[in-house]
């Protein structure tokens, strides 16, 4: 694998590859006929049966997103609806564990917190679509939605964890040991960890009466919230001083939560998460084992039954009021880059490209990932690429 910062260096890298005895990148003339033959063009919100039939046999479909794209939310909502008829009943999302309970409540129609909703940039349109779809279904058939991320500072960090826990216990018959925890000073990792460990020990000590008082579901919810926050304290503390290690630790939390949720349902699961997390083999981002690689290659729960889709957009319109410039892959890629070939083959449509052709396993295909051009085998990262010809960026959370 080679990568280049910017397309101006493509020629130099190709020359370096030839000097090292490597084959040159796949040409546009080789790539375009395969794309035009194998890609399935379509128009949202309808997903063709050909695509659904390909995904349905798997226990897990992983959708690797480019964050904050309105069309991506539309696609995943359609995928949830269409795969429901094929036995899928769960959606896992890149969402902080501390706010999982209130997201689940929103998806089920907000019986506990009728005034709460997620922000637009945090997936409001997707979650509204799943909520509205669930309203048409019998309770046993509804889609369950769970967050599988640790508690990042970007989402509000420790204050939001404690506020969320305080909000949850108002719906329980009693606060139990959480009441004492909420009185403590939660200002820094030095105070957070002992407070959390004391709470965790109390939850374990009082497990039997709390299960009776709160019910098994809410007891398990509180325990998971605390366990993830214990891990999150250490991860947050390392983000400035040891970022690489913090990324690895975060990914381990995501893997554990994904495995746990998948194991709890006999039905199919969709995971919507950033493309870096979704990749089946390490190409872009920090060089660690990402979620997709773990689920495809090592998860005993999934047992290899996973299909991974990398999602991108050829042209991205900035959010209203943003100072960002529009993104156009045609200006950011050489003529033989895969995403550029896809949009020029299907200029006004969404396109789903299975990466079955041997060409995509050669290691010589140019792939633009966040404006870095990689020479790689795309089939090692994803089973298919989905590309929006046009996408609109949502405001930041």
Which pLDDT score is estimated for 155? Answer: 63
Mean pLDDT to the nearest integer, 30-54: 98
Which pLDDT score is estimated for 187? Answer: 83
Which pLDDT score is estimated for 2? Answer: 52
Residue 174 scores a pLDDT above 90: yes
Q: What is the DSSP letter of 147?
A: E
Q: Identify the CA nearest to 385 among candidates 321, 332, 341.
A: 341
Q: What percent of the chain has pLDDT over 70?
A: 93
Under the banding of pLDDT at 50, 70 and 90, the label for residue 370 is confident
- Give the chain's mean pLDDT: 92
Q: Could you give the domains of the chain?
A: 2-154+240-392 (3.40.50)
Q: Which two tokens stand for residue 390?
A: 């046009």
Q: Identify the CA nearest to 354 among candidates 385, 326, 321.
A: 385
Residue 313 scores a pLDDT above 80: yes
Mean pLDDT to the nearest integer, 202-206: 98
Q: What is the largest CA-CA distance in the chain?
A: 72
Residue 15 scores a pLDDT above 50: no
Which pLDDT score is estimated for 396? Answer: 77
Distance CA 355, CA 362 (A): 11
Cα 228–chain centre separation: 18
Residue 13 scores a pLDDT above 90: no
Which pLDDT score is estimated for 312? Answer: 96
Under the banding of pLDDT at 50, 70 and 90, the label for residue 159 is confident
Instruction: Supply angle C-alpha 35, 39, 44, rounded to 5.
Output: 135
Beta carbons within 8 Å of 215's beta carbon, 6+ residues apart: none
Strand partners, 137: none
Which pLDDT score is estimated for 22? Answer: 61
Which pLDDT score is estimated for 274? Answer: 96
At 206-254, the pLDDT tens digits run 999 999 999 999 999 999 999 999 999 999 999 889 999 999 999 999 9
Beginning with the edge strand found earlier in the chain, give each strand of the sheet holding 372-376 in spatial order: 2-5, 372-376, 365-369
Q: What percent of the chain has pLDDT over 90?
A: 85
Inter-residue contact 146 to 90 (CB < 8 Å): yes
At 351-360, the pLDDT tens digits run 999 999 999 9
Mean pLDDT to the nearest integer, 257-286: 96
Residue 19 scores a pLDDT above 80: no
Q: Which two tokens stand for residue 185?
A: 């000073």
Distance CA 203, CA 214 (A): 12
At 324-346, the pLDDT tens digits run 899 999 999 999 999 999 999 99
Q: Which two tokens stand for residue 219?
A: 């007891």
At 181-199, the pLDDT tens digits run 999 888 888 889 999 999 9
Predicted TM-score of the model (pTM): 0.93
Distance CA 221, CA 104 (A): 11
Q: Which two tokens stand for residue 230?
A: 């214990």
């Amino acid at each position: 694998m080679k990568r280049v910062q910017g397309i101006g260096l493509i020629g130099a890298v190709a020359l370096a590859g030839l000097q090292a005895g490597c084959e040159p990148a796949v040409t546009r003339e080789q790539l375009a006929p395969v794309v035009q033959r194998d890609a399935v063009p379509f128009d949202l919100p309808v997903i063709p049966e050909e695509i659904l039939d390909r995904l349905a046999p798997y226990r897990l479909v992983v959708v690797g997103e480019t964050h904050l794209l309105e069309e991506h939310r539309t696609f995943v909502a359609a995928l949830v609806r269409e795969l429901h008829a094929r036995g899928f009943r769960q959606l896992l999302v890149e969402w902080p564990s501390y706010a999982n309970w209130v997201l689940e409540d929103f998806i089920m129609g907000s019986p506990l917190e009728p005034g709460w909703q997620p922000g637009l940039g945090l997936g409001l349109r997707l979650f509204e679509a799943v909520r509205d779809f669930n309203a048409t279904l019998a309770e046993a058939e509804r889609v369950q939605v769970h967050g599988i991320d640790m508690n990042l500072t970007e989402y509000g960090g420790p204050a939001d964890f404690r506020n969320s826990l305080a909000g949850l216990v108002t719906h329980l018959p009693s606060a139990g040991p959480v009441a004492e925890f909420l009185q403590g000073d939660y200002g820094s990792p030095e105070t957070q960890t002992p407070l959390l460990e004391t709470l965790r020990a109390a939850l374990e000590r009082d497990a039997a009466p709390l299960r009776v008082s709160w019910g098994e579901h809410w007891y398990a919810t509180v325990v998971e919230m605390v366990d993830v926050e214990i891990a999150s304290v250490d991860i947050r503390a390392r983000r400035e001083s040891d970022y690489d290690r913090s990324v690895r630790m975060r990914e381990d939390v995501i893997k554990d939560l994904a495995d746990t949720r998948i194991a709890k349902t006999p039905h199919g699961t969709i995971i919507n998460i950033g493309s870096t997390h979704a990749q089946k083999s390490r190409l872009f981002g920090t060089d660690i084992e990402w979620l997709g690689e773990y689920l495809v290659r090592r998860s005993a729960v999934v047992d290899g039954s996973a299909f991974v889709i990398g999602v991108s957009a050829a042209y991205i319109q900035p959010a209203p009021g943003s100072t960002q410039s529009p993104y156009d892959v045609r200006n950011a890629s050489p003529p033989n880059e895969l995403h550029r070939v896809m949009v020029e083959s299907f200029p006004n449509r969404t396109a789903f490209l299975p990466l079955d052709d041997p060409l995509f396993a050669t290691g010589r295909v140019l792939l633009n990932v966040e404006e870095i051009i990689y020479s790689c085998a795309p089939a090692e990262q994803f089973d298919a690429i989905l590309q929006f010809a046009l996408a609109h960026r949502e405001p930041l959370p």
